[in-house]
Structure 1
Amino acid sequence: MERKIVQVLSHNVVLAKLLSGNNSIVFGKGIGFKKKNGDLIDPAAISQEFLLHTAEAIEHYQQVIKMVNFPIIAATEEVIALAIQKLSGPFSDTIHAALIDHINFAIERIKRGIYLSNPFVFEIKYLYPEEYKIAEEAVAYLNKKLDVTLPEEEIAFLATHFHSARSFSDKKVALGIARIVSKILDQLKAEGYKMDASFSMIRFVSHLKALIDRVKSGKTIDNPLIESIRERYSDGFAKARKLADIIAEELGKDVPDKEIGFLTLHLERLPYEFQ
């Protein structure tokens, strides 16, 4: 299919328009070198291509092109390509404009000496481990490519963008889950539990995410051992109920006892700060 260059973003990245009328972001070694708008693209030179399907995505992308320097756009597109290549499943095309805009503002803040804290770094790292790992690579690449020093907090921000694009959800959804998990971990810390990167803690955080998703969707799982758990781990069950109350308050939906039972079993595996 014929493609014409709409905008050269770098030697290796261009924004194109297909014969069908769709816009796409096209990658290829030297694909934009000495090219100008309106030039045809050699299909054999294309290594990757991402379609911008919706009118909203195209409009937002056209806006960022007007506001953001091309090296930032090209470098951000390269890390998006990395994420799409290494993370399974389709990505929402809204990530292109959204992540470019985020990276651009992050760099502007750094130049002004303004650093935006991310209070959910620990939670995001273990809620979305695959995305976090790719985000670490992405931030390292951006720092080298753009000669900047993005702080470690940006890894968590990028991981959230990647997760939202994979799940086709608003970034606020991922941050909302991180906020609930943060409140639960604060409660556990106040009760003497050890906040670390142990396997038990990672597994607990993963369980919390799945639990929150189930409560939100109203599809909780059965627990035939609930009465035995309630009797054998009465203290742990009481603590788990406090955590369930936090989830219920945040989501406006009750957490069934059978889910509290599973939460109790996970609590029993967590280490205390002083043992």
Structure 2
Amino acid sequence: MKVNKVINNNLVRSFDEKGNEVLIMGCGLGYKKKADDEIDMSMVEKIHRITDENTAQKLSDLLLEIPQEHVRIANLIIDYAKQTLDKELSDNIYISITDHISFALERMEKGMPLKNALLWEIKKYYHSEYSIGLESLAIIKRELGVELPEDEAGYIAIHLVEASVNVEDSSYVSETVTMIQAILSIIKFHFQINLDENSLAFDRFMVHLKFFIERVLKNQAFAEDEKLYETLKDHFNEEFKCCKKIKRYFLQQKGINIPDTELLYLAIHIKRILNNK
């Protein structure tokens, strides 16, 4: 590969074997280099293959501002997240995670920790992403000797959720958390129970709720199926009454009318978690 443009001593632009523009990182990689010089691949630490030109430019600008060591740590964390999560992440993850980690380290150095008001909810509703957040803190401590507070694991988790290819709106996470809390409150009040939030049944229910909310928000709810509804509704009578309250919540708060068939599926999952209780 050849240098197309030297951005700084540690970052150059080039083109891969398919002719796609790439950002190549490495300590001293761009030192005394000029256009058309061969790149010493033994010095390469990271190759960013980003197809969106706007994202590539933003990343290039960001990498100019941030210490090389912070960028290296962010790359380690992102690589770990990609290997661990069973989902694709958008290219924006390189911007959001790198920027956040560098800012968190800067704040820590100045004695300015930032509390995460959604930490408890993130732990419960986004367990996989939160676990990666905790491992990220371990990576930072191992590599830099800096111990960041648990709140930062929650922030990293949020960035991972927002970088999911199925998530398009940066407000999605907080909105989802709010709706999950509302649904759980309706269920607890309707049945006058407390749910075991440390149980496998609860974790399974959370997975269903997140997909349920995603379908509803994106107007991809299950279509009405009158035959299925008539066949099953009497088997889930009380659960369906509870779901009607959830339907009323979405209509009043979001202006969204949820089909009865979608509510029926939710009722089935509510019955399942009640049975487990």
Q: Aligned residue for 1:11?
A: none
Deviation at 1:25, TM superposition (A): 4.1
**In the alignment, which residue of structure 2 is the partner of 1:112?**
111
2:195 corresponds to which residue? 194
**Aligned with residue 81 of structure 1, among 65, 79, 82:** 79
Question: 2:267 aligns to what SS in structure 1?
Answer: helix
Instruction: Give the match's secondary structure for 2:164.
Output: helix
2:66 and 2:196 mapped to 1: Cα distance? Answer: 40
Q: Are residue 16 (structure 1) and residue 12 (structure 2) matched?
A: yes
Who is 1:203 aligned against? Answer: 204
1:264 is matched with: 267
Letter of the structure 1 residue corresponding to residue 173 of structure 2: A
Q: CA RMSD in A?
A: 3.2
The structural deviation recorded for 1:18 is 0.2
**Does structure 1 retain, via aligned residues, the 8 Å contact 2:7–2:30?**
no
Superposed, 1:55-70 pairs within 5 Å as 55-70=53-68
CA contact (8 A) 2:114 2:151 kept: no
What is the Cα deviation at residue 242 of structure 1?
1.7
Shift in Å, 1:45 = 5.5
Residues 113-172 of structure 1, C-alpha deviation per residue, up to 9 Å, x if partnerless? 4332232543x4454444333333222212332322222232232222223323162332
- Deviation digits for residues 79-101 of structure 1 (CA, Å, limit 9, x no counterpart): 11222333356532222222122
Gaps of 5+ in 2: none
Q: Alpha-carbon deviation of 1:17?
A: 0.7
1:12-49 deviations in whole A, cap 9, x for unaligned?
A: xx4321046834144xxxx5268626374223565752
Shift of 1:57: 2.0
CA distance in 2, matches of 1:184, 1:139: 32
Report the TM-score when normalising by structure 2. 0.78
Distance 1:160 1:134 in 2: 11
Tell me the SS of whatever aligns to 2:59. Answer: helix
Distance in 1 (CA, whole Å) between partners of 2:59 and 2:46 is 18
2:82 and 2:29 mapped to 1: Cα distance?
28
**1:180 is paired with a residue of what secondary structure?**
helix
Which position in structure 2 is the counterpart of 1:2?
2
Distance 2:130 2:11 in 1: 28
* Larger RCO: 1 or 2 (CA < 8 Å, sep 6+): 1
User: After the TM superposition, which parts of structure 1 deviate over 6 Å for at least 4 consecutive aligned residues?
Assistant: none
For 2:33, the equivalent position in structure 1 comes to: 38
Q: Deviations over 1:153-210 (max 9, x none)?
A: 3223222222332316233223322221122223344442324121221111111111
Q: Among 134, 150, 153, which residue is 2:151 paired with?
A: 153
Q: Percentage identity across aligned positions? A: 24
Label 1:250 to 1:127 Cα distance change in 2 as closer, same or farther (>3 A).
Answer: farther
Cα distance change on mapping 1:166 and 1:143 into 2, 3 Å: same
Q: Secondary structure at the match of 2:76?
A: helix
Paired residues in the alignment total: 263
